[in-house]
């Protein structure tokens, strides 16, 4: 193994570990596939392959909001692993999906374990507080981020150190319809994210806007940015007309005066 490869291995594991800490706190790159995938691509020196994989997982992940521990794969880790495998073995997106997805599912199981262990840590911190051992309590807290980083760093390390050759071997043995089928699944899976998303959102109230977006894309071939802009226009109109209604309703029972500039403080 060359020096560069070893450096890449280490950086990929660090990226995987840090991803969870970031997702839990700073939310600067979080576990969003396009962002972690771009970084992984830079590490691996193949941005083009990385972007294709990252884009695929990003679209699969839509709607996976990680609220209250939703049990969906960790697509961020799937992306990092996928980019690593695809660029290291040169097998492309098929292996990224075939290896990345299962590893992403494993990470979610590990999260449950980490949160159970964190329970003991929480009790330790509180008992130190009760013993006036505040310095200790302050330091112990740092075990939290370390613990949570393992949920993604460990699977990444397993793949990095034992993976690539095993993965190439498996891909050779597995019949073509399986890898093709997984690629087909890759195209379909965004539907699960979209389905979950629709359950979080007021679908019944705003159903027409889904239809508008669908028709714009399917019939008129408007790109997603264009649809976003039209959606923004509708949202803008809705915000100001509803805000005005709300302030009117608030003001009218008390006095007849309606403050004109009430709706404008949204930009401040």
Partner 1 sequence: MRETTMMSDTDKYKVTKKDRRRAAVRYNFMACNLFNYESQMGPAVAWSMAPVLRKIYKNDDEYKAALNNHFNYYNSTTVMSSMILGATLAMEERDGIKAKDAVQSLKTSLMGPLAGVGDTLVWVLWPTIMGSISGYMALQGNPLGAIVWFIANIIFWFVKLKLFDVGYTSGTRLITSLGNKLTIFTEAASIMGLSVVGGLIATVVKISAPVKFQFGKVALNLQTGVFDKIMPALLPALLTLLIFKLLGNKKWTPTRVILLVIAISLVGTFLGIFKA
> What residues numbered 80-109 form the site for partner 1, per CB under 8 A?
105
Among 71, 248, 252, 259, binds partner 1 (CB under 8 A): 71
When asked if residue 137 is in the footprint of partner 1 (CB under 8 A), the reply is yes
Q: Does 170 bind partner 1 (CB under 8 A)?
A: no
Two tokens at 80? 């990092």
Distance CA 268, CA 259 (A): 17
Q: What angle do CA 30, 25, 265 make, to 5 degrees?
A: 90
The DSSP call for residue 69 is -
Q: What is the DSSP letter of 222?
A: -
Q: Which is nearest to 147 in space by CA: 113, 182, 108, 99?
A: 113
- Residue 227 engages partner 1 in binding (rule: CB under 8 A): yes
What residues have CB less than 8 Å from 216, skipping those under 6 apart? 222, 226, 227, 230
Q: Does 58 bind partner 1 (CB under 8 A)?
A: yes
Task: List the interface residues with partner 1, window 15-44 (CB under 8 A).
Answer: 21, 23-30, 32-35, 37-38
Select from 7, 10, 170, 224 the one that contacts partner 1 (CB under 8 A): 224
225 binds partner 1 per the rule CB under 8 A: yes
When asked if residue 242 is in the footprint of partner 1 (CB under 8 A), the reply is yes
Contact between 246 and partner 1 per CB under 8 A: yes
* CB-CB contact of 167 with 89 (8 Å): yes
For residues 213 and 204, give the distance between their C-alpha atoms in angstroms, rounded to a whole number.
15
Question: CB under 8 A: which stretch of 5-13, 83-91, 162-170, 178-186 binds partner 1?
Answer: 178-186
Q: Could you say whether residue 232 binds partner 1 (CB under 8 A)?
A: yes
Instruction: Please give the Cα distance from 232 to 213 (Å, whole number).
Output: 12
Chosen residue from 132, 253, 257, 267 binding partner 1 by CB under 8 A: 132
**Binding flag, residue 51, partner 1 (CB under 8 A):** yes
* C-beta closer to partner 1: residue 11 or 118: 118
Q: Is 158 in the site for partner 1 (CB under 8 A)?
A: no
Both tokens of 266, joined, read 């949204």
Task: Enumerate residues 188-217 that contact partner 1 by CB under 8 A.
Answer: 188-192, 194-203, 205-206, 209-217
The binder of partner 1 chosen from 181, 252, 259, 264 (CB under 8 A): 181
- Reference 73, options 108, 44, 33; nearest CA is 108
Q: Check binding of 236 to partner 1 (CB under 8 A).
A: yes
Q: Return all residues near 182 (Cβ < 8 A) that are at least 6 apart.
A: 94, 97, 98
Residue 254 lies near partner 1 (rule: CB under 8 A): no
**With respect to partner 1, which residue has the nearer C-beta, 11 or 137?**
137
Q: Classify the C-alpha dihedral 88-92-93-94 as positive or negative.
A: negative
* Token code pair at residue 161: 């150190």
Closer by beta carbon to partner 1, 38 or else 152 = 38
- Using the rule CB under 8 A, give the single segment among 6-14, 133-141, 151-159, 252-260 that binds partner 1: 133-141
């Amino acid at each position: 193994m060359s020096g560069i490869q070893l450096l890449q291995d280490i950086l990929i594991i660090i990226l995987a570990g840090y991803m969870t800490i970031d997702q839990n706190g700073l939310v600067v790159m979080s576990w969003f596939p396009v962002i972690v995938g771009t970084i992984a691509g830079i590490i691996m020196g193949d941005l083009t392959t990385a972007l294709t994989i990252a884009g695929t997982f990003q679209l699969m992940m839509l709607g996976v909001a990680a609220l209250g521990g939703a049990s969906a794969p960790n697509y961020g880790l799937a992306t990092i692993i996928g980019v690593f495998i695809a660029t290291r073995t040169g097998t492309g997106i098929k292996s990224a999906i075939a290896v990345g997805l299962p590893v992403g599912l494993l990470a979610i199981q590990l999260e449950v374990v980490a949160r159970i262990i964190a329970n003991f840590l929480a009790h330790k911190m509180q008992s130190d507080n009760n013993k006036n051992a505040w310095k200790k309590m302050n330091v112990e807290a740092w075990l939290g981020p370390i613990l949570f980083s393992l949920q993604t760093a460990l699977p990444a390390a397993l793949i990095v150190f034992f993976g690539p050759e095993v993965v190439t071997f498996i891909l050779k043995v597995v019949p073509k319809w399986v890898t093709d089928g997984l690629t087909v699944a890759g195209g379909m899976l965004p539907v699960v994210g979209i389905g979950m998303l629709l359950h979080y959102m007021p679908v019944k109230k705003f159903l027409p806007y889904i239809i508008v977006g669908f028709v714009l894309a399917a019939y008129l071939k408007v790109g997603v940015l264009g649809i976003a802009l039209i959606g923004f226009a509708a949202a803008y109109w809705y915000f100001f007309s509803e805000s005005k209604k709300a302030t009117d309703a608030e003001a009218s029972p008390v006095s007849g005066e309606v403050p004109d500039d009430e709706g404008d403080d949204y930009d401040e």
